């Protein structure tokens, strides 16, 4: 199901009219995300297409983000996807604490496809999370989905499914507004 990201009350955007996101959890521990940006996308500063490799600081310019946790856990994960196809993946032990890269043996590089079309811009990202022990198993996932948009004039806007009161904070517990249950296996009763 597609959901709308909302613009943070302290943000302004002359180029983007709206951002929708769809998140799908598939059997086998994979997560599929699709972000769709509507508006005058030529007014957005899009990072040039590059190699699909890890990079830090993607949140400083146009990028799309997903935060994932198991309900009741203080541990959560941040995934950043840039239109350049660069990406980042972090594990946090608590709210903005203990940040560390998710190890390469736990996480395959995500599949990222991005591009402009007639009606806007879209980015699709696919993650296989079976190697991340905290996300393996039969627990539901809670997601906080967000986007950072840098416009041609350098201004930045912040978009999310839910914003906490005050300054924008994609890590805040109030942002985890989407629950994805464990997918049911077809043919099992």
What is the DSSP track for 147-189?
EEEEBTTS-EEEEES---SSS--TTSGGG--EEEPPPPPTT--
CATH fold of the domain at 2-180:
Immunoglobulin-like (2.60.40)
Helix (H, G, I), strand (E, B) or coil at 102: coil
Q: What value does the mean pLDDT take over residues 162-176? A: 95
pLDDT score of 182 = 86
- Cα–Cα distance between 65 and 77 in angstroms, integer? 10
Q: Is the CB of residue 162 less than 8 Å from the CB of residue 9? A: no
- Cα–Cα distance between 180 and 178 in angstroms, integer? 7
List pLDDT tens digits, range 113-160.
999 887 799 999 999 999 999 998 788 999 999 999 999 999 999 999
Task: Give the number of other CB atoms < 10 A from CB of residue 70.
Answer: 16
185 band by pLDDT with thresholds 50, 70 and 90: low
Average pLDDT of every residue of the chain: 93
pLDDT score of 44 = 96
Q: What value does the mean pLDDT take over residues 176-180? A: 96
Domain coordinates in residue numbering, the chain = 2-180
Helix (H, G, I), strand (E, B) or coil at 59: helix
189 band by pLDDT with thresholds 50, 70 and 90: very low
Q: What value does the mean pLDDT take over residues 37-53? A: 93
């Amino acid at each position: 199901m597609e959901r709308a990201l909302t613009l943070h009350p302290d943000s302004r955007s002359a180029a983007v009219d709206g951002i929708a996101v769809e998140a799908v959890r598939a059997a086998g521990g994979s997560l599929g995300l699709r972000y769709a940006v509507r508006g005058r996308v030529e007014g957005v500063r899009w990072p040039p297409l590059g190699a699909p490799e890890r990079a830090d600081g993607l949140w400083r310019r146009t990028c799309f983000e997903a935060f994932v946790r198991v309900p009741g856990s203080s541990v959560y994960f941040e995934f950043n996807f840039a239109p350049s196809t660069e990406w980042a993946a972090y594990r946090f032990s608590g709210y903005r604490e203990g940040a560390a890269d998710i190890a390469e043996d736990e996480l395959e590089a995500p599949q990222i496809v991005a591009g402009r079309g007639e009606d806007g811009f879209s980015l699709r990202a696919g993650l296989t999370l079976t190697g991340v022990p905290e996300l393996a198993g039969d627990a539901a996932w809670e997601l906080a989905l967000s986007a950072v948009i840098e416009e041609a004039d350098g201004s930045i806007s912040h978009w999310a499914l839910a914003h906490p009161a005050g300054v924008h904070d994609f890590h805040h517990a109030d942002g985890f507004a989407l629950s994805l249950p464990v997918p049911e296996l077809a043919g099992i009763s």
